[in-house]
A and B are shown apart, each in its own frame.
Chain A
Amino acid sequence: MAPLFAMPAPRVGANGPNILAAPAWSASLWRRMAQNHTFKTEGLTKTYGEGEAAVHALRGVDLEIPRGEIVVLLGPSGSGKSTLLNILGGLDHATSGTAFFESENLTEMSDRALTRYRRDHVGFVFQFYNLMPSLTARENVELVTEIASDPLAVEEALGLVGLEERMDHFPAQMSGGEQQRVAIARAIAKNPTVLFCDEPTGALDSTTGRAVLHVLNDVNARLGATVLIVTHAAATARMAHRVIHFADGAIRDVVENEIRQSPDEIEW
């Protein structure tokens, strides 16, 4: 319980940074505004294996994700959500089709270029946190700010997730929810263009999970990052601008939410 109450949403807002006041910020924001979508894919396919044993994880995905939105990818387990996320995140190569990040074609990029892309633009949050056990919360965040070109202050990133107090704790000294919030702080500290979250609440109980969603919502609002959340918990969809239903490696339909709910209101 404690972690949840240690991080009430209003406090983040009250203490949050005045983002637009930073000149560096507005420049990069301006650059992004010139494009009206973050991602655009055409006929994206991914096949694992060959012949009889081939698994068609993606069977032709056409998709456009507008800049600055929270997009939730919903679908049954094994439907190809993670595969899509990994390709868009520059972790994996597509078998065919194209995937554009802004004006850059991800499917044509070399490994080196993909590393550069991840380093400069992408934040990841995974189900199992993946923090460095040998680094404190602060250092886990610094790990990213040290190599990013335009990072947030470490305190600021940890403040956004409500963990200023626990900056010098090691992962082993934190609960699952706290670890996941550090992971989010680490993902946003580079001031990413896009934030990918694969089942970010999958390993958490509902209250802790709700707090994590709250942070994601906040990051989107304050930093203007496009947030892509993969989940199989349908309720999460209510906080999204846009919900993509996934089945059998293809998009079944896309729904734009007229009214978004705050994560606090979401029932699990």
Chain B
Amino acid sequence: MRALDHKLMRDLWRIRGQAAAIMLVVAVGVSLLVMMSGMLQSLRETRLQYYESYRLAEIFAPVTRAPMPIVERAAEIKGIAAAEGRIRGAALLDMPGQALPVRAAALSLPRSMTPRLNNLYLKNGRLLTPGHMDEVVVLDSFAKAHDLALGDHLVATMQGNRRAFQIVGFAAAPEFLFTTAPGEFVPDDARFAVLWMHEEALAAAFDVKGAVNEILVSLERGANPQDVLTKLDHLLDRYGGQGAYERKDSMSDRFITEEIAGLSATSVVVPPIFLGVAAFLLYIVITRLVQAEREQIGLIKAFGYTDFEVALHYFKMVVVIAVLGAAMGCALGLWGGRLMAGIYQTVYHFPFLVFRVEPSSLVTGVLTSVLVASAGGIFVLRGVFRLTPAVAMRPPAPIDFSRTGALNNRLRRWLDQPTRMVLRRILRNPGRIGGSVLGIAVGMGLSSAQMSLMSGFDDTLDLTFGVIDRSDVAVSFFEPMPAETVNAMAHLPGVLEVEPVRGVGAVLRNGRESYRGSVTGLVENARLNRAVNKDMSDITMPSQGIVLARALADTLDIGPGETLRVEVLDGRRPVIDVPVAEVAETLLGAPAFMRFDVLNGALGEWGRVSTVYLRVDASEMDALYAALKDMPTVAGVTQREDARAAMQKLMDTGAGAMRYVMAAIAGIITFGIVYNAARIAFGEQARDLASLRVMGFTRGETAYVLLGELAVVVLLAVPLGVGIGYYLSFLIAAGFSTDLYQIPTGFRPDAFGTAGVAVLLATVVSGALVRRDIDKVDLVATLKTRE
């Protein structure tokens, strides 16, 4: 076998270009596999570990005001392992040099500094010193975004009282893995803060001495969370319980769960496509090799090598290519994984996120890749077995094209001979051509679909900030304000238009389906913050009934005309049954809308306002902010531009980079296929091409015969790729849209254009590489050989 191994090395060297192209495809597939599966594992494990080590509550129960001993009573509920109470309040931070106050959540820490649940992870500094009521620990990500240092002072307004605090520590917490400004969906570290402070300090600020307004609960093993929720709600009902909810329904956890689900789905779909393409490429390349070496195979067999030994020789080649590709992929995947972990950490605030792949899963991954990739090669080996020495030694007959002649008469008048050569080769190898077309199309479809979704973000931005929200500033209040507030607001400097909104937390139920969200009361003909239908025209708020966002209607499986039960979580907590009037188009969140006065009427609180949307004269913006800062009832001020900018930034960094990655995916698959197809066509036709040159055909004319086939392949693949991409974008949109955000669908010329350009570019590059070979062809030498 030593001699055969020498042959193996030489053969591999000879087809190094092709081998490298296949290795590249394998490597990309394996690297994605390693990267994504490793990332998934890291995310899952890190999250679990973080949650457990810092004892994140499994159930959160907000309540208006419950006396301290309620915590012990909650702990006695069957199924509850531990309970903790805390005070949670809203604060506004006055950041130096910034007109707009930043919203913050203020959370109490017990005197012991180690709460039974929802502990915090101190990154820097220390926890609070007993008795020092002006000390705070600040959310680390916020501190970083504002370059805060230990010892700095923060001015916070709580319930209208401004107080200065001293920063003694920076911390992260598992409940704030993912933070957005309230009511928004894109993380913006600079616009959301968490302050941890002494229980007594918060109790004084929010006037809840001896009481708590949030109960945290962990469950016993095997406890039914639904039962516990019911019992907790029952217990807290008297104290203004606002509905207990599970950890998985908290924003932070939901976002990371969605991320994991998306990554998991992608890791199942994308790497196999690469491995499939690699298998196909190995199949055609080894087929060609065996075909070209039939005489040698016959000879080797005639010497007495067994079929098995000969087959093994060719199989080794497959394995060498697959293993080298997989090894490259592992290295690339480990590197990419680290990079990815770094990006994740800018969005999800883990105390640590180490990209780590179990060596065993690395081995399994590589083994599967090698197996899949070699599947193509195994088919070819049948051919090796079938070649008997006698057959192999017979002089080679010209390849039989007689069965492709049918087209002849119809096409005769239109096609010159070189074109016929191209067509006949295509007709003779429909499988190979079909495989190439399909491979390129799938690669292109995949990347164009992904790019479509990314450019769909533009739609989300436009719909959310161009059509639905046309205000300049939104001002929210700590508690629902009386109707006069609208008037008061209109008199603030620069305010051109005021529009009141009433929002309440609510559980929406339709039969067994339920959704914990909110109901937004809009004025009948809202202009600044509206609901729009599919055609982007205003929905007039009906005097009866509720308007649901499409995502919400889908979640609740309900349509216009059907009746929805709304369990309001605020105020008197009424339960009302309302018909669904219409479905609204939104891309962020899953809101439900009722008419302002109708909602307030149901609550028995006439004219109450929880948020106002303002249109503002830009030149008086600063004066307005200054005025708002001094209003004790204001809980938060959001500038629409900031929210939009946060989304834009996310798109430009993460999604923007992905665009190139996706184009590269289409490019690499296309390059792998086209380059190999071209090399094979060149190998099979070298003599024909040399003959053409001898007959006086120019280099260009000769190249046409070779590259025409590839042109046809690519021309067929591109429209097919567009079709696949279009279809795929719908599948992905359907699969990945949630009540948090919906993925808009539609035909996006720019996405398909970029993918198409990547395919064409890859084609041109591989064509040029092979064209170089045509130019180098030694006419005399080629014609001397028999095959």
Contact = CB atoms under 8 A, between A and B. Distances in A.
Interface of A: 82, 86, 89, 91-92, 112, 115-120, 122, 124, 126, 128, 130-136, 139-140, 142-144, 146-147, 168-173, 179, 186
B288 interface: no
Among the interface residues B404, B425, B694, which one has the most CB atoms of the partner chain A within 10 A? Answer: B694
A162 B97 CA distance: 98
Interface of B: 397-402, 404-405, 408, 416-418, 420-421, 424-425, 428, 687-688, 690-699, 701, 779-780, 783, 786
A264 B377 CA distance: 53
A267 B782 CA distance: 32
13 contacts: A82-B780, A115-B693, A115-B696, A118-B694, A130-B691, A132-B688, A132-B691, A134-B420, A134-B424, A146-B417, A147-B696, A147-B697, A147-B701
Contacts of A112: 698
A239 B697 CA distance: 32
Given A133-B688, A134-B421, A135-B424, A119 B402 contact: no
Nearest to A126: B783
B424 A168 contact: no
A21 to B, nearest CB: 27
A119 B420 contact: no
B695 A118 contact: yes
Contacts of B697: 115, 119, 147
A122 B694 CA distance: 9
Nearest to A124: B694
A122 B408 CA distance: 29
Contact of A168 (B399, B400, B405, B688): B405
Given A133-B688, A172-B401, 10 more contacts: A122-B696, A130-B783, A131-B691, A134-B688, A135-B420, A135-B421, A140-B417, A146-B417, A147-B695, A172-B399
Dominant secondary structure at the B interface: helix
B786 A128 contact: yes
Nearest to B702: A115
Contacts of A144: 695
Given A169-B402, A172-B399, A139 B696 contact: no
A142 B421 CA distance: 12
Given A128-B783, A172-B398, A172-B399, A136 B695 contact: no
A170 B400 contact: yes
B417 A139 contact: yes
A10 to B, nearest CB: 31
Nearest to A187: B695
A134 B786 CA distance: 17
Contacts of A170: 398, 400-402, 405
A158 to B, nearest CB: 15
Contact of A119 (B405, B428, B695): B695
Contacts of A132: 417, 421, 688, 691
B696 A142 contact: no
B693 A146 contact: no
A85 B281 CA distance: 41
A136 B405 contact: yes
Residue among B400, B691, B699, B701 with the most chain A CB within 10 A? B691
B356 to A, nearest CB: 55
Contacts of B397: 172
Contacts of B699: 115
Nearest to A121: B696
Contacts of B416: 146
